[in-house]
Structure 1
């Protein structure tokens, strides 16, 4: 039986980004289930994923600080042309420029 290779920084980064995306989806679904988001609004949010950053703040999602710090640290370790794209790390639009 072959031993599995230790996860690379890219693997770790991808897993953290995936976990963060799942946490966001779970949060938004909970907001909807609690009646704070209409089914139509939820469907609209899903249809625009991953372009959700501005709306995410409105729905009260707060990313885990430890996860954010780990993502930032791993992102710096990986050359830009090798880092997996993170939908959660897209630049946020300034609310002032809207």
Structure 2
């Protein structure tokens, strides 16, 4: 077993998967922001809010730090939800 997570091949694979997912999600939002309507962007953002909610649940169920569950993923979900609502009512 590796001494640190940075030497762990599974950890590197997980980071690669997360990076690709996050970049793709950002590109989806960018494309809709440039070429779509505020309602379309709001709907996409609302659906994308499931990503940080899912991440929070995964971290919580795996015994991760509460600061990551609520401070990172939970806060991101709340901000995304607020932006979604503002875009949908605009």
| Structure-1-length-normalised TM-score | 0.37
The structure where helix makes up a greater share of residues is 2
Scaled by the length of structure 2, what TM-score is found?
A: 0.39
Higher relative contact order (CA 8 A, sep 6+): 1
